[in-house]
Chains A and B, each alone.
Chain A
């Protein structure tokens, strides 16, 4: 297999509850302009392939949006493809781009993710649409919501392992604090664990401040072979190359109940992580990974993730998280960007934003208050639904 692709350049918009002056095409244009500035390029002439990453046709009342986005940024007549995988869309898009490069189909591919989930629809309508991504016959029809499914999982985790509300409130407070050091973050907040515990219940045991945000935003990554990046991207030589060294994907049943008795954790994430570690040559992830962006759609999901990624024993995620292991000054800082809770979550862009945060951490280019010193390896963890699809991607700086 050829050597791993590199992240040649990155770009994104600020993440916001609403970009009132932008439709979805405008958002992508702004992210692309940011990428061109990052790359030191004045155009995309040399880029061979496009890959559109967005989740919802419903939010935009537009099908074949991928073709419109491709057209908007002048990628015609080059080849393009659209990838969708629920919440995992952006990470699945990068994984697909990885395969495009590794197969030799092309040497450069622009992955562009965008979503307008913010206030284009009322939150009630937005929740109805998100509920359509559950099993419509059995889960949506009874009034189930994703907050409810996640909450039922967390209750099982609490019953099985003694995980406490304070443990996941730590995640809710810490990730929003981290967001204060990220200029693109949607909702930095300086809140305490008590503030989280006192916020109004949404789907018990989850409360308002345990829940992530609806967002508008866009993000792009130019993925390329190392040789292509050296030849075509002026900024490439100015920073240490970051390689996309591992990618893993796992799946699980759509409905939580069909996983019985395994309802406390995400099997798909365990599968994805093991595959990604094997590809990236990682044997002891907690020691070998320096920084990570975890999928914190709800605060407790980060606790389940640190277990499923094999960083702590099953059932010990709550105490490890609450003990500060994953804080900015901990052994393995996670969600330095603020995560979905603080930075925001424009779905099709989320996995790409995670990879951008990791790349910029490895380049040493983020705000020093959230910069992890001398980070060499970084990981992103993203999933769809209650991890019916899970994707783990690994990046490594090689000086």
Chain B
């Protein structure tokens, strides 16, 4: 944390009323502060999903109690509060909804490197009961609900293991 720049804001130009309540406090200084953190971040019981992406395999979780298949995985089925089982999916599915994003938050190096606009897609993977959110690389293609897509893998290096995959048209 450091103060690098200091500036005085000129607010004397303001149209002050005769009985300004804050007349003794018209000088305002603004400084620049910086704060950055590095997290040693555990992906916890979701970890196998990310580990298997490097092996070009896509895993969801299935609940033995209610049969719900969650992608992204849920170690604990929220409906049954029972531990799930890992289940491999083919990585193919269909596009349910999407948005084309013209601004990037630059969340990590992979997101910062994205060509804009990029497509945030929600995909119903074959064999899953939930929608999986990820980037859909389909430059020039007219998107429509029901479009068949598949997971495409890469070997990295990536800033976050979720970027070892994205969706592409099947």
Q: Which residues of A contact B (CB under 8 A)?
A: 20-21, 33, 61, 124, 127-128, 131, 137-145, 147-149, 151-153, 155-156, 159, 200-206, 255-258, 260, 263
Quick check: B28 and A21 within 8 Å, CB to CB? yes
Question: Is B96 located at the chain interface by the 8 A CB criterion?
Answer: yes
Quick check: A155 and B130 within 8 Å, CB to CB? no
Quick check: B105 and A142 within 8 Å, CB to CB? no
Given A140-B107, A143-B118, A258-B70, A203–B100 Cβ distance below 8 Å?
yes
Which residues of chain B are near A260, meaning CB under 8 Å?
96, 122, 124, 129-131
Quick check: A143 and B9 within 8 Å, CB to CB? no
Quick check: B97 and A159 within 8 Å, CB to CB? yes
Quick check: A257 and B102 within 8 Å, CB to CB? no
Quick check: B102 and A200 within 8 Å, CB to CB? yes
Partner of A257, one of B43, B46, B118, B131: B131
Q: Among residues 89 to 127 in chain B, which have CB atoms less than 8 Å away from a CB atom of chain A? A: 96-108, 110-111, 114, 117-118, 120, 122, 124
Quick check: A147 and B101 within 8 Å, CB to CB? yes
Complex Cα spacing A128 to B107, Å: 6
Quick check: A141 and B97 within 8 Å, CB to CB? no
Give the interface segment out of B51-59, B132-140, B147-155.
B132-140
Question: Is B40 located at the chain interface by the 8 A CB criterion?
Answer: no
A89 vs chain B, min Cβ distance (A): 21
Which residues of chain B are near A206, meaning CB under 8 Å?
99
- B contacts with A, residue count (CB < 8 A): 45
CB-defined A-B contacts under 8 Å, sample of 19: A20-B9, A61-B33, A61-B35, A127-B105, A140-B107, A141-B107, A141-B108, A141-B162, A142-B111, A147-B103, A148-B101, A148-B120, A149-B99, A202-B102, A203-B102, A203-B103, A203-B120, A260-B96, A260-B122
Given A141-B107, A258-B70, A152–B102 Cβ distance below 8 Å?
no
Given A200-B102, A260-B131, A143–B97 Cβ distance below 8 Å?
no
Which residues of chain A are near B103, meaning CB under 8 Å?
127, 145, 147, 202-203
Which residues of chain A are near B70, meaning CB under 8 Å?
258
Which residues of chain A are near B104, meaning CB under 8 Å?
143
Partner of A155, one of B99, B117, B118: B99
Quick check: A131 and B105 within 8 Å, CB to CB? yes
Quick check: B120 and A144 within 8 Å, CB to CB? yes
Question: Is B30 located at the chain interface by the 8 A CB criterion?
Answer: yes
Complex Cα spacing A263 to B98, Å: 12
Which residues of chain A are near B105, meaning CB under 8 Å?
124, 127-128, 131, 143, 145
Given A152-B98, A152-B120, A155-B97, A139–B43 Cβ distance below 8 Å?
no
Quick check: A142 and B134 within 8 Å, CB to CB? yes
Complex Cα spacing A155 to B121, Å: 11
Complex Cα spacing A138 to B98, Å: 15
Quick check: B101 and A145 within 8 Å, CB to CB? yes
Q: Among residues 22 to 75 in chain B, which have CB atoms less than 8 Å away from a CB atom of chain A? A: 22, 26, 28, 30, 33, 35, 43, 46, 70, 72
Known pairs A137-B72, A141-B160. 19 more at Cβ < 8 A? Answer: A33-B21, A127-B103, A127-B105, A138-B133, A142-B135, A143-B111, A145-B103, A148-B101, A201-B100, A202-B101, A202-B102, A203-B103, A204-B102, A205-B99, A206-B99, A255-B130, A256-B131, A257-B122, A258-B130
